[in-house]
């Protein structure tokens, strides 16, 4: 019997969440799934893996029932920039896939984690110290699916008593997975380019401030929320969380402390720049701190030092 199923296991979050879950539950108790066939080497492998398209509700339900899954981490999604390029696909994956997961989980009474995003906010939202509960009118298809997803999760919790929880992830920075089409991906690409080329051309402008988080903090927050006492959770779904806020110029300056010859250039992508400017610059995550004790471990300096160290170690192993 498998306890946990992860959709989108080959993505940026899944690449680090699956190993963390396997350390907690045991390797054979966590089933990694993704629409892609299993690659030869990947952090989400080394344990049970099945190919799954979450828009196929029958296949999803059969898999959950066959393994008697108790917890689902639903990570499969089309991210911001890619969603704007193919909105029909984004709606199908982000909304139909979520509905299938919630409905199947309702039938077997499984706990569900569903990530939201700062994309759920829009240009009318206060951009500084964005409140937990505030106006949400995004102007991107990805953001629309995130708001609709938050509401759908709330409905399943209120109507059916489903234990569904979630976080509004800020920009996530990881040394494990490659960027996946998000607007904040510059903050991952910059490290790879710094080590390989000692320069980087950012697709966001130098002063574009966004809330960020190092992936180890994001994984820990995810696990802590799912293990939190439900009696303490007034919000349950879509908690604001952040660790620090930075601009491309500030991140470049931090990298230059370790690599003085690093050069930063800019070639602004109008689409991703417009998306970024509609998102918060900082978040009020006091609800997460008060309701389940959220505290980040990494600031900008700590994240930068660890990213450079981990990527350098990986490069040496690949030689």
Nearest to 100 by CA among 147, 146, 152: 152
Backbone angles phi, psi at 15, to 5 degrees: -60, -30
DSSP letter at 295 equals -
Alpha-carbon separation of residue 313 from 85, 259, 318, 319 (angstroms):
35, 16, 9, 10
Angle, in degrees to the nearest 10, between helices 186-196 and 300-318 = 50
The span from the CA of 267 to the CA of 243, in Å, is 27
Sheet-wide strand order for 171-173:
171-173, 210-214, 244-246
Structure tokens belonging to residue 295? 């505290």
Q: Which residue has tokens 């059916």?
A: 160
Whether 142 sits among the annotated catalytic residues: the reply is yes
Task: State the catalytic residue, choosing from 49, 73, 142, 186.
Answer: 142
Helices (H) and strands (E) in the chain, counts: 12, 14
**Based on the number of CB atoms within 10 Å of its own CB, is 89 exposed (0-12), middle (13-18) or buried (19 or more)?**
middle
The beta-strand segments (E) located in 196-315 are 199-202, 210-214, 239-240, 244-246, 263-266
d(CA 32, CA 8): 8
**What is the H or E stretch that residue 60 is in?**
helix 57-67
CB contact at 8 A, 117 and 279: no
Q: Are 60 and 33 in contact (CB under 8 A)?
A: no
Catalytic residue numbers read: 142
């Amino acid at each position: 019997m498998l306890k946990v199923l992860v959709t989108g296991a080959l993505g940026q979050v899944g690449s680090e969440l699956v190993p963390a879950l396997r350390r907690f539950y045991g390797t054979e108790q966590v089933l990694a799934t993704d629409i892609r066939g299993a690659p030869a080497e990947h952090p989400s492998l080394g344990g049970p893996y099945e190919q799954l398209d979450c828009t196929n509700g029958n296949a999803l339900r059969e898999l959950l029932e066959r393994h008697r899954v108790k917890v689902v981490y639903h990570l499969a999604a089309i991210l911001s920039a890619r969603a704007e390029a193919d909105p029909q696909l984004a709606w199908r994956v982000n909304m139909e896939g979520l509905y299938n997961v919630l409905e199947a989980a309702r039938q077997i009474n499984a706990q569900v984690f569903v990530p939201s995003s700062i994309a759920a906010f829009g240009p009318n939202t206060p951009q500084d110290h964005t409140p937990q509960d505030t106006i949400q009118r995004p102007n991107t298809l990805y953001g629309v699916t995130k708001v609709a997803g938050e509401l759908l999760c709330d409905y399943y919790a209120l109507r059916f008593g489903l234990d569904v929880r979630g976080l509004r992830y800020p920009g996530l920075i990881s040394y494990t997975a490659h960027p996946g089409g998000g607007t904040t991906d510059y903050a991952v690409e910059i490290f790879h380019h710094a080590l390989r080329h000692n320069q980087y051309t950012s697709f966001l402008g130098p002063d574009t401030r966004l809330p960020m988080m190092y992936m180890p903090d994001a994984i820990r927050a995810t696990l802590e929320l799912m293990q939190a006492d439900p009696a303490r959770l007034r919000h349950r779904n879509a908690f604001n969380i952040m660790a620090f806020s930075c601009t491309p110029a500030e991140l470049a300056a931090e990298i230059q402390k370790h690599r003085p010859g690093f050069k930063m250039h800019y070639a602004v992508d109008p689409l991703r720049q417009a998306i970024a400017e509609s998102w918060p610059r900082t978040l009020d995550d006091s609800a997460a701190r008060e309701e389940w004790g959220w505290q980040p471990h990494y600031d900008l300096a700590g994240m930068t030092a660890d990213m450079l160290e981990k990527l350098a170690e990986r490069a040496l192993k690949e030689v």
